[in-house]
Chain A
Amino acid sequence: MPSTRISRRSILKSAALGSAAAISAPYVSGAYAAGTITMGCWDHWVPGANKALDKLTKEWGDRNKVEVHIDYITSQGEKDKLTAAAEAQAGTGHDIMSHRDWNVRIHQDQLEPLDDVVNGLIKQYGPISPVAEYMAKIKGTWRGVPTTVGSQVKPCCSRLDLYKEHAGLDFREIFPPDINKWDKAKVDGWTWDAYVTSAQKLHKAGFPVGLPLGQSSDAVDWVGGLFAAYGVVLVDAKDNIKVNSDETRQAMEIARKITETMSPEVFAWDDAGNNRWLISGKGSGIMNPPSAWAVAKRDNPKVAEQCWTHPMPKGPKGRFVGQLPQFYGLWKFSKNKSAAKDLLSFISQKSSVAQLVAASVGYDLPSFKSMYDLPTWNEVEPPKGTVYGYPPRGDEETSITGAPARSEVGAQIYNQAINTVMIAKFTQGKQKLDDVIKWAENELEGTLRS
Chain B
Amino acid sequence: MAQIAHSWDRGSARPQGALSGVRRFFRRRSTVAFLMCLPLIVLVGGLIIYPALYSIHLSMLNKAQTKFIGLGNFRFLWSRDTFWMVVQQSTIFALSAVFFKALIGLFTAHLVNNLPSKGQRKWRGMLLVPWVIPLALSSLGWWWLFDPTHSALNYLGEALGFSEVPWLSDPYWARFSVILVNVWYGAPFFLIMYLAALKSVPEQLYEAASIDGANAWQKFMHITLPMMRNIIAITVLFSLIVTFANFDIVQIMTAGGPRNMTHVFATYAFMLGIRSGDLPLGAATSLFMFPILAIAAVFILRGVRKRGRDIG
Contacts and interface: CB of A to CB of B under 8 A. Distances in A.
Interface of A: 77-78, 81-82, 85, 102-103, 105-107, 109, 213-216, 263-270, 273, 276-277, 280, 282, 408, 411-412, 415-416, 421, 424-425, 428-429, 439, 442-443, 446, 449-450
B204 to A, nearest CB: 54
Contact of A421 (B149, B167, B170, B260): B260
Contact of A265 (B169, B255, B256, B275): B169
Q: Which residue of A78, A266, A416 has the most chain B CB atoms within 10 A of its CB atom?
A: A416
B9 interface: no
Contacts of B168: 268
A216 B255 contact: yes
Contacts of B205: none
Contacts of A213: 258
B274 A273 contact: no
Contacts of B148: 265-266, 268-269, 273
A109 B65 CA distance: 11
B286 interface: no
Given A269-B148, A277-B149, A215 B277 contact: no
A282 B166 CA distance: 18
B166 A264 contact: yes
15 contacts: A81-B274, A105-B277, A215-B257, A264-B169, A265-B148, A267-B257, A268-B148, A268-B166, A268-B167, A268-B257, A269-B149, A282-B149, A411-B276, A415-B277, A449-B278
A424 B62 contact: no
A412 B278 contact: yes
Contact of B279 (A85, A270, A277, A443): A85
Given A276-B149, A416-B276, A268 B174 contact: yes
Contact of A416 (B64, B254, B271): B271
Given A85-B279, A268-B168, A415-B276, A273 B149 contact: yes
B122 interface: no
B259 A425 contact: yes
A424 B259 contact: yes
A78 B257 CA distance: 17
Q: Which residue of B62, B76, B276 has the most chain A CB atoms within 10 A of its CB atom?
A: B276
B275 A78 contact: yes
Contacts of B276: 102, 411-412, 415-416
Given A213-B258, A268-B167, A415-B276, 17 more contacts: A77-B251, A78-B275, A85-B274, A85-B279, A102-B276, A214-B257, A263-B149, A264-B169, A267-B170, A267-B259, A268-B254, A268-B258, A276-B150, A280-B149, A415-B275, A428-B259, A443-B81
A233 B275 CA distance: 22
A418 to B, nearest CB: 10
Contacts of A265: 148-149, 166, 169
Contact of A81 (B174, B255, B275): B275
Contacts of B277: 102-103, 105-107, 411, 415
B275 A450 contact: no
A446 B254 CA distance: 23
B82 interface: yes
A107 B170 CA distance: 36
A450 B63 contact: yes
Interface in B53-82: 62-64, 76, 80-82
Nearest to A216: B255
Given A264-B170, A415-B271, A421-B260, A270 B81 contact: no
A449 B255 contact: no
B46 to A, nearest CB: 14
Interface string B250-281: 01001111111000000000111011111101
B265 to A, nearest CB: 16
Contact of B64 (A109, A215, A411, A415): A109
A416 B259 CA distance: 10
Nearest to A442: B81
A78 B256 CA distance: 15
A263 B147 CA distance: 13
Contacts of B63: 408, 449-450
B51 to A, nearest CB: 11
B82 A443 contact: yes
Nearest to B79: A446
A76 to B, nearest CB: 10
B256 A215 contact: yes
Nearest to B276: A415
Contacts of A215: 255-257, 260
Contacts of A280: 149-150
For the complex of A and B, 8 pairs with smallest distance between CB atoms: A106-B277, A265-B148, A268-B169, A268-B168, A268-B148, A415-B276, A267-B258, A415-B275
B169 A267 contact: yes
